Amino acid sequence: MDLTGGSLYGQTPLDESESVGLKISMISTQGELNQFEQANIERAIKWLRGKTFTPAEVLSEEFVRRLHRRMFGEVWKWAGDFRRTEKNIGVSWVKVALELKILLEDTKYWIDHEVFPETEIAIRFKHRLVSIHCFPNGNGRHSRIMADVLMENVFVRRPFSWTGKQLSDPTSTRKAYINALREGDRGEFEALISFAQGTTP
Ligand SMILES: Nc1ncnc2c1ncn2[C@@H]1O[C@H](COP(=O)(O)OP(=O)(O)O)[C@@H](O)[C@H]1O
Ligand SMILES: [Mg+2]
């Protein structure tokens, strides 16, 4: 299966060295891959549900990587490892660890000093996390669950309502989501907040 083409709208194509990291040899189509990844992600969500984490635990490189490994580690050998290739989205790979550290520090500051409303902090964090693009793949799904972890563990609020949405397929919902991310690139977060809260029509 060729995973390097990136035919899906707004998807990151995999590098050759990354597509060989598939752990399950019986996967031969994109659909099967999606199913295995989804099953893995659901197990990660169950693992999260049984636990509480302090803000300091959540806002650490260790947690960011651990969650990615939990979400994709049954499918990909490189799950939880920062990328070592350049992508069309994201910072240069050599800067991933540094940019993540700055984001984690900024987010702690926003929380401690109530710089933005809680929901906006979770969304700004998610937006910048996916813009850094720490991992070879799965950054979108990982960043959405990270935002939910912030909502539940840091702010003790309900998670967002993106889990049920068809975001991996090129649907109109996905287009609305990508457009909202682009508004975030311009520093406007209202669209992404209403999308995450399920109030986008
Ligand atoms: N123009 C963009 N700016 C910022 N983020 C984007 C843009 N286009 C796509 N994305 C994000 O990148 C994700 C795709 O990266 P990828 O690592 O393939 O994640 P996943 O496999 O979970 O979809 C999208 O889901 C979206 O969250
Ligand atoms: Mg992807």
Q: Is residue 179 in contact with ligand 1, taking CB distance under 6 Å? A: no
pLDDT at 50: 86
Nearest CA to ligand 1 atom 11: 140
CA distances from 133 to 28, 118, 150 (A): 26, 23, 18
Residue with tokens 């990909």: 76
Ligand 1, pocket-test mutation among 130, 163, 186, most atoms within 8 A of CB: 130
Asked if residues 103 and 129 have their Cβ atoms less than 8 Å apart, the reply is yes
Angle ∠(88,182,57) on CA atoms, nearest 5 = 80
CATH T-level topology, domain 16-159: Fic-like fold (1.10.3290)
- For residues 30 and 62, the model is more confident at 62
Per-residue pLDDT at 4 exceeds 70? no
Least reliable range by pLDDT among 9-13, 72-76, 83-87: 9-13
Q: Is residue 130 in contact with ligand 1, taking CB distance under 6 Å? A: yes
- For residues 31 and 21, the model is more confident at 21
Pair of tokens at residue 164? 């049920």
Residue 32's identity, in one-letter code, is E
Asked if residues 86 and 122 have their Cβ atoms less than 8 Å apart, the reply is no
| Å from CA of 70 to ligand 1 middle | 19
pLDDT at 133: 98
pLDDT (tens digit, 9 = 90+) per residue, 149-158?
A: 999 999 999 9
pLDDT at 16: 76
Q: Is residue 33 in contact with ligand 1, taking CB distance under 6 Å? A: no
Asked if residues 100 and 24 have their Cβ atoms less than 8 Å apart, the reply is no
Question: How far apart (Å, rounded) are the C-alpha atoms in residues 176 and 181?
Answer: 9
- Quick one: pLDDT band at residue 8, thresholds 50, 70, 90? low
Percent of the chain whose pLDDT exceeds 90? 74
pLDDT (tens digit, 9 = 90+) per residue, 44-64?
A: 999 999 899 999 999 999 999
Closest CA relative to residue 154, chosen from 125, 190, 177: 125
pLDDT at 141: 95
- Across the strands, what pairs with 22? 76
- For residues 179 and 19, the model is more confident at 179
Question: What's the mean pLDDT in 6-31?
Answer: 74
Per the rule left: phi > 0, alpha: psi between -120 and 50, beta: everything else, 156 is: left
- For residues 29 and 82, the model is more confident at 82
- Across the strands, what pairs with 76? 22
Asked if residues 99 and 153 have their Cβ atoms less than 8 Å apart, the reply is no
Say if pTM beats, i.e. exceeds, 0.75: yes
Which residues keep their CB under 5 angstroms from ion ligand 2?
Answer: 11, 137
